[in-house]
Amino acid sequence: MTAPRAFSWRAELARKGVHVASSVFPLTWAFGLVGQREVVAALTAGLAVSIVLERLRRRDSAIGRWFTAWFGGMLREHESTGLTGATWILGAMLLCAIALPERAAISALWAGVFGDAAAALVGRAAAARAAERGKTWPGSVACAFASAVGPWWLVAATPLAALGIGIAAMLAERPRFSLDDNARVAVAAGLAAWALGVA
């Protein structure tokens, strides 16, 4: 059995930088700079590229070495042999953009970008102070708060509805399921938004 990979704040911040870059999708959509068609097209293209890279890095040793050199430090241990978080979140965001009403979809995309990122960064800091491993409640609360801000700010959700969306995102992020938490947070937030009338 190999030893767990040592945690690096530099790698974690780089990983979350990718999340923040993805905020272009909910922000441009919410402010009317693009519509659903453009968001779906961009997410489809991004997912296609990600899937091709996933396949090539396993089948071609040269591409595998290149991928590891550039992105290896950002990967979780299970992503070395499984799908990366980037592929999961692109797939989840695309599903939400296609299947949900506009305001619910924007809420989902926001939560997928910022909810999981907040959980990881705050959770890592809390775990380091408490010498813990795995999910922490400070990280979960950060996920709820970050996921709630977007619906309230971007699509005029009521404070109560925004809170419900945040709680749904938090509950989806906490369990250690095989389904990537990047995808779970986005889908849970979107479904909660739709159920709460943020559509």
Chain segment 83-106, per-residue pLDDT in tens: 887 888 899 999 999 999 999 999
The per-residue pLDDT for 155 is 97
Which amino acid appears at position 70 of this protein? Answer: W
Q: Is residue 170 part of a domain?
A: yes
Query: Residue 25 belongs to what domain range?
Result: 9-195
Asked if the structure places residue 4 within a domain, the reply is no
Average pLDDT over residues 43-69: 86
Domain count, the chain: 1
Sign of the CA dihedral running 163, 195, 174, 26: negative
Indicate if the pLDDT at residue 147 is higher than 60.
yes
Could you tell me if residue 3 is inside a domain? no
Question: Which residues fall within 8 angstroms of residue 76, CB to CB, at 6 or more apart?
Answer: 85
pTM score, two decimals? 0.86
User: How far from 37 is each of 2, 33, 34, 44, 93, CA to CA, in Å?
Assistant: 45, 12, 8, 10, 13
Q: Is residue 1 part of a domain?
A: no
Q: Per the domain annotation, does 23 fall within a domain?
A: yes
Cβ atoms of residues 57 and 64 within 8 Å: yes
Angle, helix 102-110 to helix 181-195, in steps of 10 degrees = 150
Dist. CA 195–CA 50, nearest whole Å: 31
Cβ neighbours of 49 (radius 10 Å): 13
Q: How far apart are CA 43 and CA 55, in angstroms?
A: 18
Mapped onto helix, strand or coil, the DSSP state of residue 6 is coil
Each residue of 116-139: pLDDT tens digit? 888 888 887 886 654 455 688 999
Tokens of 190: 């979107």
For residue 143, give the amino acid letter.
C
Domain membership of residue 2 (yes or no) is: no
Q: What is the DSSP letter of 184?
A: H
Side chain identity, residue 173: E
Rg over CA atoms, the chain: 17
Picking from 59-63, 71-75, 135-139, which range would have the lowest pLDDT averaged per residue? Answer: 71-75
Q: Decide if 30 is inside a domain.
A: yes
Query: How many residues belong to the chain?
Result: 199
User: Who has greater pLDDT, 127 or 145?
Assistant: 145
